[in-house]
Structure 1
């Protein structure tokens, strides 16, 4: 099997101890769900491409479809899926030897599918490369470990710790709290090591059963691939210990939401950080990147906060930003400049929820910074003090956010017109599905009182 010489070292090491039984051909849809097919190893060895219908990109989170097929109608033509062997990774929770391989989507003429999330991110990265820039990102992933919940009408509760007590809230950075779910974390570490994913650290966050995992900085597409894999890895580790891992933006009432903070820097062809000048000072590009985030983030909130639940995160004084202010070492601002040496100068976007599609979130955030640098947009004055005292600047719900997304033609040009068209249709279909569901709050307060 000559292709095995092209896969990462971690995948080869895994196959030294496991006989390869199956290859999972996977691709991320708009919500970031892994779609694809499982193929016997013998068949995989004989095929260089696979097929899936283009309708996988028209699905809502509920499994229904938006009317996004276009003029040709809903005929579901096959896309060509080509493997990226650099993404080959073990599925260590599988009983038999199994590899996962992320695929890229093309139409039958070989043109990249414009609404494929990985292609959207590659498109934005290519715009940077055309300017002689290399974007660098470092994501932080927050999530909850919760008790098994098979009844959607039942509130989500924290998982039971090793002491037999529910995971405690408001214990940020507590090592004792982390030890409560040590067996789950041990499996997360083990799975990540087998898959060749480097974790920078795990900490307890402020919510009951809420953790944060930081990944090393690097190439945007590679890091998005790792987050895509990581969500599945964490879910599988949790299931081994009779609990669920959830990446909902706001899973538990009264607890903080879960974010996916993204740190950004940009290097030139020599590998130098363009946010830092020859004498170590901040450059115009640094300020223009921030200016672009302030100018264009409102139009992509619908991408980085993609569900009705996402907007429950943006609550004043509740551990999530409510505006687009920027500050230095200030975690109340939406845009934060962390403490770092000049060579590592970066900007942290704190607005995205962990429920986002990692490819689309990183693409949207980079697109904002790109437009800022290209158009030399200067940011507002640095915010000093508690930014929760500033005015709200986040759309108050998904529908309002989609209106902003639809209105920004500049952003459509960067992310791709086909993506913008399909994304809006699918998300509006999803919102209409939500409107047909009557919530417990409505039954409690409206049934007999109105």
Structure 2
């Protein structure tokens, strides 16, 4: 092996033990969180320090179209991509011995490309670091296993389980429900072990074929990298067993949607203590400021946490998803929940984000709200006690409204970066215009002959 492999993470070295590395996949996440890049022979990867990709990958919609940015020529200049070998991990589903490596993205002057989602998250983390804080996150991933769907005109249905029946709904926390698709879960565990990822737990959620997977807490960039890798890995595990894994926010009518709940705490870098707790164990003022920031600024970033028209189908009253930004202790009806914990683990759970969001941008947006709250030092509304579904909705109900709020949020633009915000808004506006050109089955069924 060449010398560059000496600096690989332990899990990658273990995977390569006694094997000849064939290929390296050099990847980055685009605006949607889709892996972009190139694969190359390992021998070539070891001889080059960087490679190039055009900056247009951050101007592309989920449908593959490109947006134009007003005042900027579409010349597609190259960005310089250099490997972050700390992210190197196996692609254990590959026929060849393959590693995946996430790359740093800089312009030709050596500056971080501001439209790259991973750089946006790094920017927000650096704002915390400048105040002497380390933000900590713990994501929860929800997704559906579904039957193969090769015709988009057909509705999505649950997968066939080992029993020969389709997965059943309303079986939250059922072990027998998880066992129905045990072979897929087994592959997820095996792949995660080969990749060096730690899963805190896997459980059955409320939807038919819906699974929740919890990750241990840690550094926001590292955890976003893992979710980026996990989404690809889970899809590969499902394909091995003749089904699809989907991270759509609402893939099946009349079933609950899939969220990416984000648990937040903040640690003082110098002392290592949780700033959300006072020395006597009580809640700190900083904790309340963080909650206030979420309540004040989350509406302006719903466009990042719910990035597609389908995302807003998840926010349904009394249907396992929040409809407002109330906060409460141990209350799963609120958008902002304070879980039961000791003082050292005091945290806030943001339940707004959908699993369809780009993990880098979803975590960055959530952290940005908390950061602004800490800077503004305001206090939240009174804790909500009771069923928050009985209160008014106070989050955008559609993509168009969410984008308007995003465009009118100068404080948030200053945190996330002006250029990124301009590009993101342009991409999502074009996607929304494309969606409006599509005529749905509902319209054909109820309007064609009746109006």
**TM value normalised by structure 1:** 0.99
Runs (4 or more) in structure 1 with deviation over 3 Å come to: none
Give yes or no for contact 1:18–1:96 (8 Å, CA) kept in 2: no
Q: How does 1:124-143 map to 2 (within 5 A)?
A: 124-143=124-143
CA distance in 2, matches of 1:321, 1:116: 29
* In the alignment, structure 1 residue 449 sits paired with structure 2 residue 445: no
How far the C-alpha of 1:155 sits from its partner, in A, is 0.2
How far the C-alpha of 1:325 sits from its partner, in A, is 0.1
Q: Any idea what SS the aligned residue of 1:331 has?
A: coil
CA distance in 1, matches of 2:72, 2:132: 39
CA distance in 2, matches of 1:355, 1:324: 20
Q: Any idea what SS the aligned residue of 1:179 has?
A: helix
CA distance in 2, matches of 1:53, 1:331: 43
CA distance in 2, matches of 1:6, 1:253: 48
**Equivalent in the alignment of 1:366:** 367
Q: Any idea what SS the aligned residue of 1:394 has?
A: coil
* In the alignment, structure 1 residue 357 sits paired with structure 2 residue 358: yes
Which structure 1 segments of 5+ residues have no match? none
CA distance in 2, matches of 1:17, 1:306: 44
* In the alignment, structure 1 residue 93 sits paired with structure 2 residue 88: no
Q: Any idea what SS the aligned residue of 1:218 has?
A: coil
**Equivalent in the alignment of 2:425:** 424
How far the C-alpha of 1:71 sits from its partner, in A, is 3.4
**Equivalent in the alignment of 1:384:** 385
Matched pairs, number: 449
- Cα separation, partners in 2 of 1:162 and 1:414, compared to 1, 3 Å: same
Give yes or no for contact 1:291–1:380 (8 Å, CA) kept in 2: yes
CA distances 1:296-348 after superposition (whole Å, capped 9, x unpaired): 00000000000000000000000000000000000000000000011000000
Give yes or no for contact 1:249–1:258 (8 Å, CA) kept in 2: yes
**TM value normalised by structure 2:** 0.99
CA distance in 2, matches of 1:78, 1:177: 49
CA distance in 1, matches of 2:197, 2:427: 32
CA distance in 1, matches of 2:378, 2:211: 36
How far the C-alpha of 1:162 sits from its partner, in A, is 0.3
How far the C-alpha of 1:122 sits from its partner, in A, is 0.1
CA distance in 2, matches of 1:228, 1:50: 21
How far the C-alpha of 1:44 sits from its partner, in A, is 0.2
CA distances 1:248-298 after superposition (whole Å, capped 9, x unpaired): 000000000000000000000221000000100100000000000000000
Give yes or no for contact 1:285–1:373 (8 Å, CA) kept in 2: yes
**Equivalent in the alignment of 2:176:** 176
CA distance in 1, matches of 2:376, 2:243: 48
How far the C-alpha of 1:17 sits from its partner, in A, is 3.9
How far the C-alpha of 1:2 sits from its partner, in A, is 1.7
CA distance in 1, matches of 2:137, 2:18: 33
Which structure 2 segments of 5+ residues have no match? none
How far the C-alpha of 1:82 sits from its partner, in A, is 1.1
**Equivalent in the alignment of 2:71:** 71
CA distance in 2, matches of 1:221, 1:377: 27
How far the C-alpha of 1:188 sits from its partner, in A, is 0.1
How far the C-alpha of 1:72 sits from its partner, in A, is 4.2
CA distances 1:157-178 after superposition (whole Å, capped 9, x unpaired): 0000000000000000000000
Q: How does 1:263-302 map to 2 (within 5 A)?
A: 263-269=263-269, 270-302=271-303
What is the RMSD computed on CA atoms of the aligned residues?
0.6
